Structure 1
Amino acid sequence: MISQLTTIDFIVLIASLLFLVAASAFAGRKKKDSEDYFMAGRSLRWWSVAGSIYGTNIHAQQIIGMLGIGYSIGFAQSHYEVLAVPAILILCYLFIPIYRKRSVFTLSQFLEHRYNEQARLAYTVLIVAFIVIQLIAGFYIGSRTLGLLFQGSSFEISYLQGILLIAGVTVLFTVYGGMDSVVVADNILTVLMIFTVLIVGVMTLTQPEIKGIDGLLALDHAQPADQQKMHLYLPADHPRLPWLGIFTGLNILHCFYWTTNQYQVQRVLAAASDRDAQLGTIAAGFLKLSIPFFSIASGVAAYYIFNHRFGAGSVKPDDAFLKLMATVVPSGYGIIGLTLAGLTCAIFSAIYSMMNSVTTLLAFDIYRKYLNRRASDRQTVQFGRLSAVAICAVATVLTLWTYDPASSDNFFLQLADQTSYIKPSLVAVFFVGILYAGAHPRAAVIAMLAGPVFGLLADLLYNHVLATIPAVRDLFGARLNFLYRVFIICTCCTLLLLGLSRRWKQGGPVKAPDLVLSAPGLARWIWIFLGLEGLLIVGVLTGLLRPQTAAWPGALIPMALFLSAYARKPAGGSLLASDLFYAGLLSSVTVWILFFFA
């Protein structure tokens, strides 16, 4: 890929990378205490929160993986972006007000306030394991991408060299930067990635084989029904993205990522105010909705372009993004250089964003809690830096051991499957904790640790017993899809937590009552929304309404509900300055997409 760059592309690429490094270094040049180093002094405004959330979420493996699945499976992958919106709104209006009451550094500290010290430790162990798995995956796809970028040039690097380069840069940024540097890098990356996604998307959709999004829909609908790719819903027994799993397990995964995941929620904990945290999160939601159209739909378009120009099966899913860039983006204008700069920055930025969070967890939940309770700010920061070096070393070894650089599997789905044993129990513990005052601390710890066990038992029971029943196999597939596993784990952990809590009822005052949600009217609004949307869904399923027709009234319902909530506020202020207006607009766009592309 790099061999196709012209002089202007090289200049733009190098200048962009140097600007990122210089800006991040400048932002992180002064570190006064642990709050400055780990939380950017809790001073982030909404635009910084939005840019950092998007930059952390939409990284290289996300862009490459999303387009690759659009290429190999289809538009149904959009659920990973579109259905994030409900979880984003849950974060905004349920969790942000509760999380920010205690000015915690980590979500494990929140669990200690809500439950006990053992709950804090259990979360730390599980989430550190999750982040390490993510880091290993980031090293793999990052090294593979760097190898493709520099392939055929005098700078060509091997898989091992790429991993070592990523590890080295990560250590440097983490040791000498801190969260200020991470946020600046994320915001620069957000601008570059939006440009990259838009350029590649527009260039792809305007190819003569495609002729725009309408042309893509017409081309796709002309294919046999079982070969069409521009639909959101796949059969319930689909091995990768079954529709029933989408609305059960995937929604739980979104709740994990947006409400209980340290390295994403740390951005809202570092916001200057609740309003900055909420507006920033909503703005990131709007940015995420660009991905289905300019990345996933581009992957579907790439499928038709590559089949026409190079033959079916000529490109691996994880290589589709770079092949598409080489195919549709014109050279000689600096565009390729800028898009490659965004992709290269994303490789590093996402990894040291995760590294910043894992060092925060280790510093506050292990070092200050158990190893040195009287540690100074300087000692805490120093421990965080040393732990970054150790984590990078471990991740390097495990990357070489666990991933095959020649693999043609869908990396993004592989990663989701690998981490699905850890996430659901955390969702159960957090949600029950803020919704049910009687949740028992000891029950929360047991439920949290039981998640992986429930997952393994679900695999064994389904794959070796239930799958032998023809009716079950025909409905859910020959093997248990990880999205169904997620739903089973979360359900079992929730029931276990509630059951043990009732059995061990203490009878005393509720622990941390300010951390339990008190919103009596919320359930009513949710039932109104579900009831009205349910009527439209029935109309679509019975054939009375076309999905494209139902999309418009479906989109008006959430906006009307949010405007009603705005009107009930005692001092609403300007509508266009209200977070409720933008939350309603975000919800409306989401519902429209879910209906229109049915």
Structure 2
Amino acid sequence: MAANISSVDLWIIGAYFLVVLAIGIGVGLKTRTDDDLFLGGRSLTWAFIGFSLFASNISSTTLIGLSGSAYSTGIAVSNYEWMAGVPLILMAAVFVPLYLKARITTVPEFLELRFDRRSRTVFSLITIFISIVVDTAGGLYAGAIVLKVFFPELVLWQTTLALAVFAGFYTAVGGLKAVVYTDTLQAVILIVGCSILTYLLFREMGFSWAVLQASVPPGHLSVIKPLDDPTLPWLGTLIGVPVLGFWYWVTNQYIVQRVLAAKNVSHARWGVMLGGFMKIIPLFIMVLPGAMAISVLPGIAARDMVFPTLVIELLPVGAVGIVLAGLISAIMSSVDSTLNSASTLIVVDFLKPRLGNATPKQIAGYGRIATFALMAVAAVWAPMIGNFGGLWNYLQQVFAIVVPPIAAIFLFGVFYPKGNGTGALVTLLLGTALGMVVFILARLEIWTIHFSINVGLMFAVSCVIFVIASRWGGRATAEQLQGLVYHPALLQPATPEAYRDYRYLAAGLLVAMFGVLVIFW
């Protein structure tokens, strides 16, 4: 065990585990039906939704990937974070009322209402794959790397299995409400821990922005990079990042599930806007520390080791425990969310239609079984991620394949009433196949365009495929499309009071994002 892990640090970590376990068991005692397990009884309020959105997104994957990329290439990687406000505003304005009025449990279910069963099935399978092979396994892998820094004797596969079992247990027992409650706690711990580390790093630089600027390579503190930048060129920021953000925040089951569990449209919208404001925070407490580490701890060879090394080298007794608890929180918040959402998809989209007269309690039991099964799959796959050239590269490679056709069918499905089930199915299948071809060509170094630009290009191709393929097959009538496509009335707030109007929050969020762009241009 590393020398600077004191008994105080271990007590802090142990207390965190006990609190999370207690929350999971406490909520589990009240979780009886499938609606309780998958949607928390549709009773979540805005604060829990917002904090849970933040915690579920800011996983250990994000911590390690963002700080490592900022250390080696600059802070442009933060564009994935603060630009999330754009799709979240679209989510609050248009998709929240559509989703909640449809009373869906899963996002693929919306596709069946809008198109047909075929597109729901294909999209659900893709989402389950992403949730387990990318999100859950990625979170376990990142978490295991962190813990091995502090406890070098740990074996990677054993560590991923232990993390999976712990997260899987309270997720299976307590369902979405347990996930959301623990996410809220985890978000607070995460922010506190990362803020401590940021403060200590900035103190090393005399709290001087000028010193920081002088200590990093030219352009390192800019969010806008040249077209030939290997990390995130400006064109990728313009056409790729928004598409990735739309997929993640508007169509991703493990994110949207919190919104579907809202008690009403207003709370859903307020929670989404809170999540948008919180997404600006990572730039300052997760990305900038990676850039500051260049002068404080030069020579870190592996980018995935930047954040763990900062924790070991800089933090005093007690603070190590808080930050490590925050890192473990990040692991738990991503793993529990993806496990719960993937089990929801399996049960609701595939098992429930075949269970006949099964009671809600029986369906919840199947959901718990699915959670444990998926937990095992993710734990087995997680150690393989090291073969993909780093965690961040692994995520990029997978997302560039699957995201563009998904974003196309949801956007055009809502804003293009002439689109039909044939168009959606062909776009999902052909768009994903083309994405795999581009991926293979990129691995062979035949196709050298940056992945973020590829996302934008493949999104445009997918949109064309959708429009053309929709010429075949029947079209839905105006009555069938009612409540499933955009109309101006969707934008109206659910309550007449001005101070409850989500549109003012959206305007404030746009101003904040514009401020980030101007300051870090």
Give the TM-score, by structure 2 length: 0.94
Q: 2:324 aligns with which of 318, 321, 340?
A: 340
Correspondence list, 1:388-427, <5 A: 388-404=371-387, 409-427=389-407
Q: 2:509 aligns with which of 574, 577, 586?
A: 586
Correspondence list, 1:273-312, <5 A: 273-307=264-298
* Structure 1 position 438 matched with structure 2 position 407: no
What's the counterpart of residue 171 of structure 1? 168
SS of the equivalent of 1:330 reads coil
* Structure 1 position 142 matched with structure 2 position 122: no
Tell me the distance in 1 between the aligned counterparts of 2:3 and 2:495: 60
Correspondence list, 1:146-545, <5 A: 146-151=147-152, 156-208=153-205, 211-220=207-216, 223=217, 225=218, 228-307=219-298, 313-331=299-317, 334-369=318-353, 371-404=354-387, 409-459=389-439, 479-504=448-473, 506=475, 508-509=477-478, 511-519=480-488
Q: Please state how far the C-alpha of 1:441 moved relative to its aligned partner.
A: 1.1
Deviation per CA, 1:470-494: give whole Å up to 9, x if none: xxxxxxxx71221122122211111
Give the partner amino acid of 1:340.
Answer: L
Give the partner amino acid of 1:270.
Answer: A
Aligned 8 A contact 2:397 2:439 in 1: no
Tell me the distance in 2 between the aligned counterparts of 1:487 and 1:211: 39
Aligned 8 A contact 2:266 2:494 in 1: no
Aligned 8 A contact 2:59 2:330 in 1: yes
Further displaced range: 499-508 or 192-201: 499-508
Q: Please state how far the C-alpha of 1:572 moved relative to its aligned partner.
A: 4.8
Tell me the distance in 1 between the aligned counterparts of 2:476 and 2:172: 48
* Structure 1 position 10 matched with structure 2 position 10: yes
Deviation per CA, 1:160-215: give whole Å up to 9, x if none: 2102202221331232221111011100001101101211111111114x633343
Deviation per CA, 1:454-507: give whole Å up to 9, x if none: 213445678889x6xxxxxxxxxx712211221222111111111122354548
Give the partner amino acid of 1:444.
Answer: A
Tell me the distance in 2 between the aligned counterparts of 1:521 and 1:444: 23
Deviation per CA, 1:338-373: give whole Å up to 9, x if none: 12111112212210110000000000000012x323
Tell me the distance in 1 between the aligned counterparts of 2:481 and 2:5: 59
Tell me the distance in 2 between the aligned counterparts of 1:459 and 1:185: 37
Taking a change above 3 Å as real, the CA distance of residues 10 and 390 of structure 1, as seen in their structure-2 partners, is: closer
Taking a change above 3 Å as real, the CA distance of residues 374 and 423 of structure 1, as seen in their structure-2 partners, is: farther
Taking a change above 3 Å as real, the CA distance of residues 314 and 122 of structure 1, as seen in their structure-2 partners, is: closer
Taking a change above 3 Å as real, the CA distance of residues 521 and 191 of structure 1, as seen in their structure-2 partners, is: closer
Tell me the distance in 2 between the aligned counterparts of 1:200 and 1:519: 46
Tell me the distance in 2 between the aligned counterparts of 1:257 and 1:27: 27
Give the partner amino acid of 2:12.
Answer: V
* Structure 1 position 48 matched with structure 2 position 53: no
Correspondence list, 1:29-68, <5 A: 29-68=29-68
Give the partner amino acid of 2:208.
Answer: G
Tell me the distance in 2 between the aligned counterparts of 1:521 and 1:165: 45
Aligned 8 A contact 1:204 1:301 in 2: yes
Give the partner amino acid of 1:215.
Answer: V
Q: What residue ranges of structure 2 are gaps of 5+ in the alignment?
A: none
What's the counterpart of residue 19 of structure 1? 19
